Amino acid sequence: EGVISVDESKGFDTNLEVVKGLQYDKGYVSPYMVTDRDKMEVVLENTYVMVTDQKVSNIKDILPVLEQVLQSNKPLLIIADDLENEVVSTLIVNKLRGTFNVVATKAPGFGENQKDILNDIAIMTGAKFYAKDLNMELKDMSLEDLGVAKKVVVAKDNTTIIDGNGTPDAIQDRIKEIRKHVEKATSEYDKKRYSERLAKLTNGVAVVKVGAMTESELKEKKLRIEDALNATKAAVEEGIVIGGGAVLVEIYKELKPTIKSDIVDVQKGINVVMESLLAPVYQIAENAGFDASEIVEKQKNAAKNIGFNAKTGEWVDMFKAGIVDPTKVTKSAILNAASISALMITTEVAVAEIKEEKETPAMPQGMY
């Protein structure tokens, strides 16, 4: 249930810091609110947080507090049950004009669970929860009713609130309350629901602060860490397989004797697919400067889990050597390749860039 975020360090060293925070499974209501186009994320620093389970039907309902936020010159995260299209449009127009920096998300969950999660967020950020059951009017909301967070990252499908301004005592009291609910829960559904909320409040957010000597090195290190993080998440979801393309050769060995057809054209298709499973091992060996055909043949005859380490030129147990790939990544690669191949077959056309051959310039006359 823990959340891991990657951020830039103010120094040259890379370190790990665990801060209080939580994540919920709702993203921005419009992509026009995005601040980082590369990652399609909204990143807000030192931001106010509005928390309500009410629907914002008219911009006038929240206009008083918006004007106060504008005066403070700080960004704003709006968490509401829903927002009318007109309200969203008004927020976007003002954001694009540079009037203020705002992002809105719908409230996570539904019913009683929604109220509980919103209360958790309010306590974590120090906000006042404007509940519709208590007949609280949004137009009465002031700056003092908003929570504060050191950083908020809003993606398409989730929002991460880091280092909220809630008091430690209030957060601990909330944790104790949820623990009691977990102990008293009679159904598996309720127990799971309370346990998830407890994990989000207690685990916090792990922030990997990346440091480097130069801007280009920092960007490269951040990308590498993000790739490693995504690969680890994929591995946790569906496990790992041996890497270096070796698992595809094992699939080849399993399927080769069993998948056959009496129809010539179908068998040709089978052969193409089967041979494509050998391509990754071939390419890795060729890129490393080895005889690719020889490596492929040896891989076909290798024992289970044994593969070629292109870095050392040795045949090793891939698991023991740590040469692994997430199962999800390998599976997705096969499915995507099959999808693209099927598309090309059905459309019977593909658009590709043909590199122009440049003529070698002639040697200048009189120069030797």
Q: Are strands 324-326 and 240-242 parallel, antiparallel or unpaired?
A: antiparallel
> What's the token pair of residue 247?
């698992």
Separation of alpha carbons 325 and 111, rounded Å: 41
Separation of alpha carbons 193 and 66, rounded Å: 34
More confident residue, 352 or 340: 340
Given this model, what pLDDT does residue 2 score? Answer: 58
Are the C-beta atoms of residues 42 and 92 closer than 8 Å to each other? no
Residue 134 banded pLDDT, cuts 50, 70, 90: confident
Strand, coil or helix: 167: coil
322 pLDDT above the threshold of 60? yes
Task: Dump pLDDT digits (tens) for 192-224.
Answer: 888 878 877 877 677 788 988 888 998 899 899
> How would DSSP label each residue in 200-234?
HHHH-EEEEEE--SSHHHHHHHHHHHHHHHHHHHH
Are the C-beta atoms of residues 221 and 212 closer than 8 Å to each other? yes
Task: Dump pLDDT digits (tens) for 82-116.
Answer: 999 999 999 999 999 888 899 999 999 888 889 99
Q: What's the mean per-residue pLDDT of the chain?
A: 88
The model's pTM = 0.61
Q: Which domains does the chain carry?
A: 3-235 (3.50.7.10), 240-347 (1.10.560.10)
Residue 149 banded pLDDT, cuts 50, 70, 90: very high
280 pLDDT above the threshold of 90? yes
Are the C-beta atoms of residues 100 and 75 closer than 8 Å to each other? yes
Strand, coil or helix: 350: coil
Given this model, what pLDDT does residue 365 score? Answer: 56
